[in-house]
């Protein structure tokens, strides 16, 4: 009898193992096209009008933040780290490879959480998983919070920004990777680094996105 969980089959059937262009040291299950996977996910969940399968792409904000963490490990080394809006888990995996004490990945999409576990195993790291809307929960006990590309929708970005501001006020270090999304709370942020991130025409309508690493001000 086949005892592989159905979400794993969905992911494995609709992705290839590849490396994000800016982070070639990390391997992920990534989709080569958006639409077939999106349709397969809707069929799998028997639901229409779902958000796109964010977990199947390495978004510019996540690629830049993963690169930053790998090249500047002092931000995470020996620290307890949360990757919020983890998607594929790219940023969480980078933090684990850069020497974090432990890493927790939070995503409200169940398929993303399964993808994080598959991708963590591909890269030989351990990641803990948190389900549900991160902003509706007490924060995990961490020192550093990483968020790649989470400011793409007005309501969600506002909730996440308020929540992250609260974590900053409580003493956590909060870093965001963002390619100029509309709902980025720029007035609360200071820039740490810039990257040109290769991306796809299908996702972003261009082949390169200028992306900034931001630290939230206390």
Instruction: State phi, psi for 106 to the nearest 5 degrees.
Output: -115, 130
Query: Among 22, 31, 62, 216, which residue interacts with ligand SAM (rule: CB under 6 A)?
Result: 62
CA-based R_g, the chain, Å: 16
* Distance, first Cα to last Cα, the chain: 54
Token pair, residue 86, equals: 């983890």
Only one of the segments 4-12, 55-63, 164-172, 194-202 lies at the binding site for ligand SAM (rule: CB under 6 A); that segment is 55-63
195 touches ligand SAM by CB under 6 A: no
Our CA angle for 166, 107, 143, nearest 5°, is 40
**Cα angle vertex 213, ends 216, 19, to 5°?**
135
- Using rule CB under 6 A, residue 178 touches ligand SAM: no
Q: Which of residues 34-53 bind ligand SAM (CB under 6 A)?
A: none
CB of 27 to ligand SAM, least distance (A): 14
Q: Site residues (CB under 6 A) for ligand SAM?
A: 54-55, 58-59, 61-62, 85-88, 90-91, 106-109, 112, 133-135, 148-150, 152, 156, 160
């Amino acid at each position: 009898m086949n005892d592989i969980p159905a979400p794993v089959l969905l992911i494995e059937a609709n992705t290839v193992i590849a490396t994000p262009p800016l982070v070639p040291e990390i391997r992920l299950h990534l989709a080569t096209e958006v639409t077939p996977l999106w349709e397969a996910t809707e069929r799998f969940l028997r639901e229409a009008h779902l958000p796109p399968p964010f977990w199947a792409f390495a978004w510019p904000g996540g690629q830049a933040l993963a690169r930053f963490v790998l090249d500047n490990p002092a931000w995470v080394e020996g620290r307890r780290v949360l990757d919020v809006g983890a998607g594929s888990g790219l940023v969480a995996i980078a933090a684990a490879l850069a020497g974090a004490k432990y890493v927790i990945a939070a995503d409200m999409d169940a398929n993303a959480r399964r993808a994080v576990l598959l991708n963590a195993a591909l890269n030989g790291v351990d990641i803990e998983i948190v389900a549900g809307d991160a902003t509706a929960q007490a924060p995990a006990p961490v020192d550093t919070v990483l968020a790649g590309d989470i400011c793409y929708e007005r309501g969600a970005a506002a909730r996440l920004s308020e929540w992250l501001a609260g974590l900053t006020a409580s003493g956590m270090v909060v870093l965001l990777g963002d390619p100029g999304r509309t709902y980025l709370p720029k007035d609360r942020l200071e820039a740490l680094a810039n990257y040109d991130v290769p991306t796809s025409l299908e996702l972003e309508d261009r082949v390169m996105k200028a992306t900034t690493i931001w630290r939230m001000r206390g």
